[in-house]
Amino acid sequence: MVTGMVVGAVIGLGALNVMALMAKNSGRPFDQTTLTSDEDVLGKVAAWAQSNGYFLDDTSGQTQRYRKGKGFLTSPMFLEVSRDGNRYTFRSYTRINGLIIKGDMALSGGNFVASVPRSMARKAQNVLFAELQAPPIG
């Protein structure tokens, strides 16, 4: 019984690392949306993040990164927003952590890898983009 559990754990870890490798090599680590606005975009993003379970994970320079999830049971979802004057650039992605390999993957696309968290993040982030009158993630 213990041998079966060990074999199952090794197979599961291997599959997780294969998915992380697929994400890393997908060629599309994020979706990018850009908009120009004189409104308080960062305030709207902060309010959206709070109401959708995202938290401010990192701030460096003019970039803020919001995150939802810890990576336990589902892949963490990210939204980065960078400001340059009145121009805002958003990067949307999810991260697959295979413990050995980590890979970021865009929310759009028909790939089966991490399809549930990608779909959840795409739906939530498209609500924000609609409020900001920005193009949705496809």
Q: Residues near 59 by Cβ (< 8 Å), separated by ≥ 6?
A: 65
Tokens 């193009």 belong to which residue?
135
Q: Alpha-carbon distance 31 to 91, whole Å? A: 5
Per the confidence metrics, is the pTM higher than 0.85? no
> For the chain, how far is it from start to end, CA to CA, in angstroms?
46
Number of Cβ within a 10 Å radius of residue 54: 23
Per-residue pLDDT of the chain (138 residues; tens, 9 = 90+): 777 776 665 565 565 555 555 655 566 789 999 999 999 999 999 999 999 999 999 999 899 999 999 866 678 999 999 999 999 999 999 998 877 778 888 999 767 777 888 899 999 999 999 999 999 998
| Cβ atoms of 34 and 74 closer than 8 Å | no
> What CATH class does 2-131 carry?
alpha beta
